[in-house]
C-alpha cells in the first residue's frame, strides 16, 4: 500500500515535470479533450482514499497521554475539518470546470479580474473563518500556556531544567535531598521556581532522558545554550521553542505510565494490562524530539520520556541516578583499562 501510493505520487510528479519541460506534449490535441479533468479528478479521489485509509495503517498521530492532549487534538480536528472541506470543495469545482469547459475554438474565457463583489466574498469568507478559529483556540491556549504557579500547586509538582544544545537535550533534576526540602517547606519549591531552579552541587544531570510521574505536573524550565531548538513530546502534545537568552516555563501532566523497574534500571515501552501486569508495548516508547531545524545533526537530537507509575518509583529512580553519577573510577583502574589510549 505504501509503495503503491509512493509509486502513484511519483508518476503524478513525473507527468507534471514532463508538462513543465515539454508543455506541448501534454496539451489537449483536439477540441474538447478532457485529460486534465480526469487527471485532477483521479488525483483527488486517490487523496481522499489515502486520507480515509491512513488510520488503518497507523499513519496518524500517536494517542495523547496528557491531561491537555484532547484540547490540542480537538483544535487540530476542527482546523483539519475546515481546511479539508475547503480543499475538497475547491478541487471538486476545479475538476468540474475542467470537465465542463475544455478547450473549444471560438469560446472566450470569462475574466473576473477587478470584480469587487467577487473579491469581497473571497476575502470575507476566509476572514470570518480565521477569526472564528482565533477565538476558538483561546481556551486550549490558556490551558497549555498559562500555569497556576501558586504555592500549593507548585509544591505538588516536579521541576526540571531542560537545556537544548547542538545536538542533545541536557536534563537537570534537583537531588533527592532537595526534594525532601520541598516536602518540608513548600514555600522553597516556589522560590526555586522563581529562581529558575538555580544549579546545586547535588543536582542529578542526564542527557536525552526525561522523567515524569503519572498524575503529577512536571514544570520544565526550558533553555538553550546555542541556537533555537524546540522541545517536542508527541504523546504529551507538548511543543515549545527554546530561545537563546530565555528560560521558558512549560508543563505537562501524564495520564499514563510507560516504565517499570528491573533491578537498578528502568525499562520503558511497557504498559499495565487489565490485570495490572506490565506488558511490552512498542507504542509506549515515547520519544523526545527537536522540532526546530537546528543544524546538520538536528535529526539525532532525540531522547526518551519515562513516566513513572508513582512518586515513590520516581524517587527510587532519582536516588539510583544520583548514586550512579557520584561513582568515580579510581585512577589505577583507569590506567589498567587504558582509558586514555596511551598505555
Ligand atoms: Cu535542536
> What digits encode the pLDDT tens for the residues 148-194?
677 778 888 899 999 999 999 999 999 999 999 988 888 888 888 88
- Find the 64 Cα to ligand 1 centroid distance in Å: 23
196-212 mean pLDDT: 92
pLDDT of 335 above 80: no
Question: For residue 247, what is the DSSP state?
Answer: -
- Of the given ranges (53-62, 101-110, 305-314), which has the lowest mean pLDDT? 101-110
Quick one: pLDDT at residue 106? 80
pLDDT of 250 above 60: yes
- Find the 224 Cα to ligand 1 centroid distance in Å: 9
**Pick the residue with more confidence: 120 or 148?**
120
Quick one: pLDDT at residue 100? 85
- Find the 301 Cα to ligand 1 centroid distance in Å: 6
Quick one: pLDDT at residue 36? 80
Do the Cβ atoms of 221 and 234 come closer than 8 Å?
A: no
- Find the 167 Cα to ligand 1 centroid distance in Å: 6
196-222 mean pLDDT: 93
* 3-class state of residue 22 by DSSP: coil
Longest CA–CA separation in the chain, Å? 95
- Find the 223 Cα to ligand 1 centroid distance in Å: 11
Element (H, E) at 107: none
CA 314/CA 217 separation, integer angstroms? 13
**Where exactly does CATH 2.60.40.420 map onto the chain?**
148-326
Instruction: Report the mean per-residue pLDDT for the chain.
Output: 88
113-134 mean pLDDT: 92
Do the Cβ atoms of 258 and 269 come closer than 8 Å?
A: yes
For domain 148-326, the CATH architecture is: Sandwich (2.60)
- Find the 328 Cα to ligand 1 centroid distance in Å: 31
pLDDT of 343 above 60: no
Quick one: pLDDT at residue 341? 45
- Find the 83 Cα to ligand 1 centroid distance in Å: 30
- Find the 115 Cα to ligand 1 centroid distance in Å: 48
111-115 mean pLDDT: 85
- Find the 209 Cα to ligand 1 centroid distance in Å: 15
pLDDT in tens, 263-281: 889 999 999 888 888 999 9
Amino acid at each position: 500500500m505504501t509503495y503503491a501510493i509512493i509509486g502513484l505520487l511519483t508518476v503524478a510528479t513525473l507527468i507534471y515535470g514532463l508538462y513543465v519541460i515539454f508543455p506541448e506534449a501534454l496539451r489537449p490535441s483536439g477540441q474538447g479533450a478532457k485529460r486534465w479533468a480526469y487527471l485532477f479528478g483521479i488525483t483527488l479521489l486517490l487523496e481522499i482514499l489515502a486520507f480515509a485509509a491512513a488510520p488503518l495503517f497507523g499513519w496518524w498521530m500517536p494517542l495523547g497521554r496528557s491531561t491537555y492532549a484532547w484540547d490540542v487534538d480537538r483544535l487540530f480536528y476542527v482546523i483539519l475539518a475546515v481546511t479539508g472541506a475547503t480543499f475538497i470543495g475547491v478541487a471538486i469545482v476545479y475538476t468540474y470546470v475542467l470537465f465542463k469547459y475544455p478547450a473549444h475554438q471560438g469560446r472566450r474565457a470569462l475574466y473576473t479580474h477587478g470584480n469587487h463583489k467577487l473579491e469581497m466574498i473571497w476575502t470575507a469568507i476566509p476572514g470570518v473563518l480565521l477569526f472564528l478559529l482565533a477565538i476558538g483556540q483561546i481556551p486550549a491556549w490558556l490551558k497549555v500556556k498559562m500555569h497556576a504557579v501558586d504555592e500549593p500547586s507548585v509544591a505538588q509538582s516536579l521541576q526540571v531544567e531542560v537545556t537544548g544544545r547542538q545536538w542533545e537535550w541536557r536534563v537537570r533534576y534537583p537531588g533527592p535531598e532537595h526534594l525532601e526540602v520541598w516536602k518540608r517547606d513548600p514555600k522553597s519549591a516556589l522560590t526555586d521556581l522563581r529562581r529558575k531552579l538555580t544549579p546545586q552541587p547535588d543536582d542529578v544531570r542526564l542527557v536525552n532522558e526525561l522523567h515524569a510521574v503519572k498524575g503529577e505536573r512536571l514544570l520544565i524550565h526550558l533553555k538553550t545554550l546555542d541556537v533555537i531548538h524546540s522541545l517536542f513530546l508527541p504523546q504529551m502534545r507538548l511543543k515549545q521553542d527554546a530561545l537563546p537568552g530565555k528560560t521558558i516555563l512549560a508543563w505537562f501532566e501524564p495520564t499514563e505510565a510507560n516504565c517499570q523497574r528491573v533491578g537498578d534500571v528502568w525499562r520503558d515501552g511497557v504498559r499495565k494490562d487489565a490485570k495490572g501486569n506490565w506488558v511490552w508495548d512498542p507504542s509506549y516508547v515515547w520519544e523526545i524530539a527537536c522540532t526546530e531545524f537546528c543544524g546538520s545533526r538536528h535529526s539525532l537530537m532525540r531522547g526518551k520520556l519515562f513516566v513513572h507509575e508513582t512518586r515513590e518509583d520516581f524517587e527510587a529512580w532519582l536516588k539510583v541516578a544520583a548514586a550512579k553519577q557520584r561513582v568515580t573510577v579510581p585512577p589505577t583502574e583507569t590506567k589498567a583499562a587504558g582509558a586514555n589510549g596511551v598505555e
